Structure 1
Amino acid sequence: MSRLIVAILVGAGASAVLFAVATSDASRIWGVLGIAVAVGILAALLRRVRGSAARASSSPGAGGAVAPRPTGGGRRIARRALLLTAGLGGAAVVAWPIRDEVAAQARVLPFRHDLSDYVRGPGRAETAIEAFIVARGDPTVTDVVVYPRYVLFTAPTSPGASTYDSFQVRGGRLTRTGPSSIQPDAVAEFSVEDIAWGAIPALHEQLGEAMQADGGELGGARRQAGVQRSSRDGGPTRISVLLYDAYRDGTLIADQDGTVLEIS
């Protein structure tokens, strides 16, 4: 039984750690390590109890010799198959709730182009927006910043509130990181449902092509995209894409439908 428990937890832990490393989610790694330590202690206790019971049952009685326990290759194969199935089951338990993220990470492997990137991965920004709406139940924000591995939001503390908090979507999960360092005015609010998030990869590519045409290849360029209103007094909502390396930077501004307005 202890080996079965360990197999299940090893599968679950391996699945969670691999996903956490791929998405740079350190909190998930620490959680898995904590569970692994607890399970290791439990498994050790179970093995000790089982060992004590086995020794007691194998002690010779008044009749003398103890009959040896039957062994066989068939039993070993069946036991290993059971442990393997348990391990795969444990991995599936962890992977199923985050299957969309796991699939996105898996699709990255055959390509040099990172399809899991929230900025340039097709459909990736939309998954972060969907996670935000589902968790919050309200699409209202004042600012969104899209990075390759996570997306940041500034939004009302609760729907309709006049105070604002910072939120983060990483690995398909929304977390509240605390009060926003800058408390915006209500005129800065907009709905994430009004933005053409699917246009961001094409806008990023267009900016990159413009910068390369102007000054050659970009070395180790970093990227991000943001959405907010064009002024502190409100104004239309704008999508901005920023691309930069050690020597140059470029910005593309588009309207909320993804129509390019300016490249600089």
Structure 2
Amino acid sequence: MNRADPIGRSAGTLTDRTRGLLRDERVASRDGWLQAVHPVVKLLGIVALLVVTVTFETPSPPAAVLAVTIVLAALSRVSLAVHGLRTAVPTAIALLIVAPQAVLISGPTLLGPVSVPGGTYVATFALRVGASVSLLGLLLSTTRFTSLLSALRSLRAPRTAVTLLSITYRYLLVVFEELSRLVLARRSRRVRRATLGESWREAGSLLGTFLLRALDRGERVGRSARSRGGTSGRVYAHQHAIGFADAAFAFVVFGTGTAGVLLA
């Protein structure tokens, strides 16, 4: 794909990256710490750390949670480069959005027009986003999706919510598979290098065709599910006994929560 075809290149990259992210369970299959933790214990621990992250109004608790997630990622054999990139991008966007508050909130001056309350608010907000994204990234990368659904059902989560989550995950795979076919068909029909103007003019046609095919595929998936008895199927998970890894993770969560209270 050449530089004169930004539409095809961008759509192809988006499709490949998203499909790889949804299907890739290699990290969840590795011999790491979080992989050995029972999904129910892991889910409860992540939720508890999220509560610590968003409860306090000072930057110290979310900073402590973020530091813990980095250590957990290393012990779970998660690529720190990939995990750091997935965490840094949403954090940078949040920081960019909330940065004006450092000047707009009045109070004692910290540096130039930046006030102490404003700087504290911006730092707390950015660290909250970073810690939350890092926690959710660890949960999703170290837990198989079927195990996560089983954990939600074990915790008596609303059946409708769990079913919708399962359908959404499966349909995302179908949607991006359809987009991949459209991109491949577009590439195969091109016999010469496209100009930038031609690529942008073709974007509307590609998007419209993709939306129509996605809706049509959704209807077919829905009819197929109803013909098989509905969409609330049972999730089969491997037997997973609670052991030392679970106790150690619970201790880390308790220690982080205690540290967050003391630092607040």
**TM-score, scaled relative to structure 2:** 0.23
Higher relative contact order (CA 8 A, sep 6+): 2
**TM-score, scaled relative to structure 1:** 0.23
Q: Which has the higher helix share?
A: 2
Q: Which has the higher strand share?
A: 1
